[in-house]
Amino acid sequence: MQAARLHEYTDDMNDALTVEDIDRPDLERSDHVLVEVAGAGWCQTDNHVIEGMWTEYVPQELPMTLGHENAGVVAEVGDEVTLVEEGDPVICHPVQTCGICRPCRLGEDMYCENSAFNGLTTDGGFAEYLQTNERAVIPLPDGVDPTEIAPHADAGITAYHAAKKAVRELNPGDTAVVVGVGGLGHIGLQCLEAMSAADVVAVDIKDEALELAERLGATHTVNSSEEDLAQVVDDLTDGGGVQQILDFVGSDETASYATEIASQGGDQHVIGYGGHIHEPCQALVNGEVSLKGTLVGRYAELQELVALVDRDLVELHTSSYDLGEINDVAEALEHGEIEGRAVILPP
């Protein structure tokens, strides 16, 4: 089969991955599932993997097939698999968990002590077939296209996970800020709208992104390159600040919003990454503001997101590309030239 492989870390996205023929995966365990990939979303994390940013955090062995946002049709199942059968359309949680370690018993999929993360620690879905396990696949409702829903396997579930945490702290009439209405942010905004009665302020530096935010239900929009966000928030909240901030950018500048616009006791959910946090401890203490990281989401949360998609409460803006165009996609995303999510199609 054909697959897009990373052979060495590089900052040059033009020829980062090599499309080559490799063996189709064999089912190695009785709980394994082989999925014929219908679509695989490209993520900013793929760029970061190519750059070697994840080597300090997870074990990686090159060459490796990237791609952690995968959906398709079941091609083969292990002897003990009962959840799905050949021919079933599925979306794949990116993490294959063991189910028996302490974090798994607590339902914390992302903390599994024996996990395999497709496209990050083991081969992913920029290929014709993906090997995963039964605990990672979610059957899709009738009428849900696996090609179109693929990016929800990471972008969607990550945005949903952050929004769900934020919604727990939002009362009707409160204000939340969504920073960055891109591939993840436009999903997070819709999740907030679907699950809360809060006012949502969308922040971006692109007018087209803010126009999308308006169409998706944002109460207010702010172009932070032209307006003073802190002043806008002060005016909107009568000086009270916002209760929840969802930062889908994760730059040095956006990390500072926690102490600039959050209300006392407010939270900033850090979803995007690449920048650094340089905030005075006293400012965090005085405002009792919390910074909370967001690492993908639980299997059950992907099920919940699929339910929102099935009810037409969350729509995904995507563009499709052939596997042979994969380095063009990497380069385009590196320069912020892709709106919504890019989906790689197998040959």
Residue-wise pLDDT tens digits, 312-333:
999 988 899 999 999 999 999 8
For residue 279, pLDDT over 90 is answered with no
Q: What is the pLDDT of residue 42?
A: 94
**Which one, of 196, 202, 176, lies nearest residue 268 by Cα?**
176
Q: What is the dihedral of CA 149, 338, 198, 109, to 10 degrees?
A: 50
Give the bridge partners for 19, in sequence order. Answer: 4
What is the average per-residue pLDDT within 114-127? Answer: 96
Report the alpha-carbon distance of residue 186 to residue 156 in Å, rounded: 9
Report the alpha-carbon distance of residue 257 to residue 262 in Å, rounded: 7
Q: What is the pLDDT of residue 151?
A: 94
Q: How many CB atoms lie within 10 A of CB 188?
A: 33
135: CB partners within 8 A, 6+ apart: 31, 93, 96, 97, 99, 299
For residue 336, pLDDT over 90 is answered with no
Largest Cα–Cα distance of the chain, in whole Å?
Answer: 62
Q: What is the pLDDT of residue 335?
A: 86
Q: What is the pLDDT of residue 229?
A: 95
Query: Taking a C-beta distance cutoff of 8 angstroms, is the pair 342, 318 a contact?
Result: yes
Q: What is the pLDDT of residue 149?
A: 94
Q: What is the pLDDT of residue 286?
A: 87
For the chain, report the end-to-end CA distance as a whole number of angstroms.
Answer: 9
Say what the pTM is.
0.92
What is the average per-residue pLDDT within 72-98? Answer: 97
Mean pLDDT, rounded, of the chain: 94
Give kind and range of the element (H or E) at residue 333. Answer: helix 326-334
319: CB partners within 8 A, 6+ apart: 338, 339, 340, 341, 342, 343
For residue 68, pLDDT over 90 is answered with yes
Between 178 and 281, name the one with better pLDDT. 178
Q: What is the pLDDT of residue 153?
A: 95
Between 56 and 137, name the one with better pLDDT. 137
Report the alpha-carbon distance of residue 342 to residue 329 in Å, rounded: 7
